[in-house]
Structure 1
Amino acid sequence: MDECDSFSDNNKVVTELRGLPSKVVAGSGWVNFTYRVTNKSKKDFNAVEAYVDLLAIDGEKFEDSSRFLTLQWQIGGEWKAISIEDGYFGTTGKLKPGEYADAKLRLMVDAKAPAGFGAAFTTGVHIDGKGGCEFGETMIFEFDILAAGTKPGDVDDAEGKPGDKPGNKPAPQGDLEELPVTGNLAETGSSSILPTVGIAGGIAVVAGAGVVFAMKRRRSGDATA
């Protein structure tokens, strides 16, 4: 990755999680879903660095229980860990307008995890190759963490809601493995995520989760202005 001399926002760098369930039972094994980054602008993207972060909150003590989460992505037929402290895991090649790149992800919640709440944060950073880094909008996907042995009943996919992460934005990492371009919106239809304003529902949970997220960012020192 080229060094970033400037930072700006670009809401045409669109990220989403497809198939992440809205409920996950602790100790139930791997949960598979997909990370997608799409170029919804009218210009070519040189490269987009993919970012995802997870956190969990104990539903009784409201303490950070993220240590019970394991996140991996598949590259070259192998599963590799995504550091919850770093968040960046891959980069696209050039994305033309309407093109997107997918990555297979999976999540495991340890059987010892307390019942509570989880949230996944996604974004993408367009590295324009000229010293500029353009941050896409942050998307938040909330899910319930159920105690081991619980029957979850009907489970829908977690819905993404736009919302800025508290604190500073995570800095791009560089030296990441490439996500292949996998399709074009012109061929497959637009994203299923509907635009919303703010964070609807569970606002107290996400607000508390956001504080933990900000604390993790400060501890890791992985931030830029």
Structure 2
Amino acid sequence: MKIRRVLATAVALAVTTPAALLSVSPAYADAKPAAQTQEKQSKPSIEELEEAAAEAQKAYDKAVEAEAAGRVELDKTFADLSEVDGTHPLALASAAANKAAKDAAAAKTAADQAVTDAQAALDALPEDATEEQKAAAATALSEAQATAATAATTKTAADTAAAEAGKKLTDARIAATRAYGMLQKAVEDALAVKAAADAALAKAIKEAEEGEEGEEGGDCEPELDLTSKVTGLPDKLVAGTSTDFSLRVTNGSDRHMDEVLAFVSVHATDKSGLKDTGKFFRLQWSTKSAPKWQNADADDYIDGVGALKPGAHADVKLRLTLDKATPAGNGVAFFAADFFNEDGSCGGAPDLDMYEFDVKAAGSKPGKTEDVKPSATPRPGNTGTTPQGSASGTPATTGSLAATGSSSATTSIALAGGAAVLLGAAAVFVARRRKTGSDA
């Protein structure tokens, strides 16, 4: 028998942010991000998961619709920005600048030829040429040289203007392409949310069916006096380094606990809050009974604590290693503890303790660091964190042609719920279930 505490980010996402819902400009769709809050509960009901799955489907459908409209808008924008027959002001300005540069180049070529001809005429004067003839030839050469100098200056200015106009045109195309790319990314994210919601619903239905078939099991009870406290974890971590810290699990209750399991889980994203960087992290643990460093397993449980008498505690050494390629961003670590006894009773801390930290790129100086402080345990619909660079808690990416003279192709996409921890890793559900004679 083994108690499993599942960091159900898929369930949390399905219930608390069923909308990787999009906020897009009227050019694409008329939808606003949905903010949802729900009372904290031990486990979402099938009805709630069905509603979440339906909302996720709607969000995905809207994302697909917005992407299709975005494709049409992108094609229209590219046609307007065409250097051949585009009607956008930037296209017209670029065409005019290119023509001016071409005319200036031709004028300079003609002026340079005039200098060559004037010099040849001066050199060809006979030895018996009069002073008046010599003066006239010299004057003609001087005037030709002045004209050539002016033509060269004009050509340089025209070439610069053409290059600048061309860059603005290119930037406008890039902005339009990026805007459409965000719509494509929104479809991918909405599909991931939909898949998570569908999977959570399917799992809940399966468990309900198994329960109806008479599967033995029950809910574990909350135990507020089983605590876990972290020390030595800094609030800033640098890529390419390892950090050792510790977790103390204390049985403050009056009951004996036959086996205690510590729960540790680490999640991180880049600065945007949209890209999961957890693959660059490696978490290891060591205890008195198992002193050799071991990698944290897939379900993030540490089983080296053992039994705890009333009032006793056990320390778990932890080591968090960041790959050199870890992007700068944000991180969060969750800690808790569970127990089970031979008589079938089980339980644990009802909430997870959450610790937020910053991630610095390799080679950075972390500066003054302090031990990270526990944040409030996140509730569904409220991550308790704010992404860097955002006061609203909703990271926004905008691709706009407004600065270049167009507003028709402006697109603003805000992915709801993508804060300091990707797709609800900071919005945690603690789903706990006891099974007798099973390790599931």
The TM-score normalised by the length of structure 1 is 0.72
Find the counterpart in structure 2 of residue 149 from structure 1. Answer: 363
The counterpart of 2:247, out of the listed 35, 38, 50, is 35
**1:114, 1:2 → 2: CA distance?**
36
Find the counterpart in structure 2 of residue 79 from structure 1. Answer: 293
The counterpart of 1:138, out of the listed 352, 362, 385, is 352
Offset from partner CA, 1:143-172 (integer Å, 9 cap, x none)? 1001111111111011123415769xxxxx
**1:161, 1:95 → 2: CA distance?**
27
Find the counterpart in structure 2 of residue 9 from structure 1. Answer: 222
**1:138, 1:150 → 2: CA distance?**
31
Deviation at 1:132, TM superposition (A): 2.6
The counterpart of 1:54, out of the listed 266, 269, 275, is 266
**2:296, 2:380 → 1: CA distance?**
21
Which amino acid letter does the alignment assign opposite residue 296 of structure 2? I
Aligned partners of 2:273 and 2:330 also within 8 Å: no
Deviation at 1:141, TM superposition (A): 1.1
Segments of 5+ residues of structure 2 without an aligned counterpart are 4-216, 388-392, 394-416, 434-440
Q: Secondary structure at the match of 2:423?
A: helix
**1:22, 1:60 → 2: CA distance?**
19
The counterpart of 1:120, out of the listed 313, 328, 333, is 333
Aligned partners of 2:379 and 2:428 also within 8 Å: no
Aligned partners of 1:6 and 1:131 also within 8 Å: no
Report the structure, 1 or 2, having the larger helix content.
2
Greater alpha carbon shift after TM alignment, 206-215 vs 102-111: 206-215
Deviation at 1:80, TM superposition (A): 1.1
**1:44, 1:162 → 2: CA distance?**
29
Find the counterpart in structure 2 of residue 160 from structure 1. Answer: 374
Identity %: 33
Aligned partners of 2:380 and 2:428 also within 8 Å: no
Aligned partners of 2:332 and 2:426 also within 8 Å: no
Deviation at 1:60, TM superposition (A): 2.4
Offset from partner CA, 1:151-197 (integer Å, 9 cap, x none)? 11111011123415769xxxxxxxxxxxxxxxxxxxxxxxxxxxxxx
Greater alpha carbon shift after TM alignment, 60-69 vs 156-165: 156-165
**1:131, 1:33 → 2: CA distance?**
33
Q: How does 1:91-102 map to 2 (within 5 A)?
A: 91-102=304-315
Aligned partners of 2:305 and 2:316 also within 8 Å: no
Report the RMSD for the aligned CA atoms in angstroms. Answer: 3.0
Residue 6 and residue 131 in structure 1: after superposition, are their counterparts in 2 closer, same or farther (change >3 A)?
Answer: farther
**2:305, 2:234 → 1: CA distance?**
25
Find the counterpart in structure 1 of residue 320 from structure 2. Answer: 107
Q: Secondary structure at the match of 1:46?
A: strand
Aligned partners of 1:38 and 1:99 also within 8 Å: yes
**2:379, 2:314 → 1: CA distance?**
23
Offset from partner CA, 1:27-46 (integer Å, 9 cap, x none)? 1x221001111112222222
Deviation at 1:73, TM superposition (A): 1.1
Q: Secondary structure at the match of 2:386?
A: helix
Aligned partners of 1:20 and 1:32 also within 8 Å: yes
**1:160, 1:46 → 2: CA distance?**
28
**1:122, 1:210 → 2: CA distance?**
18
Number of residue pairs matched by the alignment: 187
Deviation at 1:2, TM superposition (A): 5.5
Report the structure, 1 or 2, having the larger strand content.
1
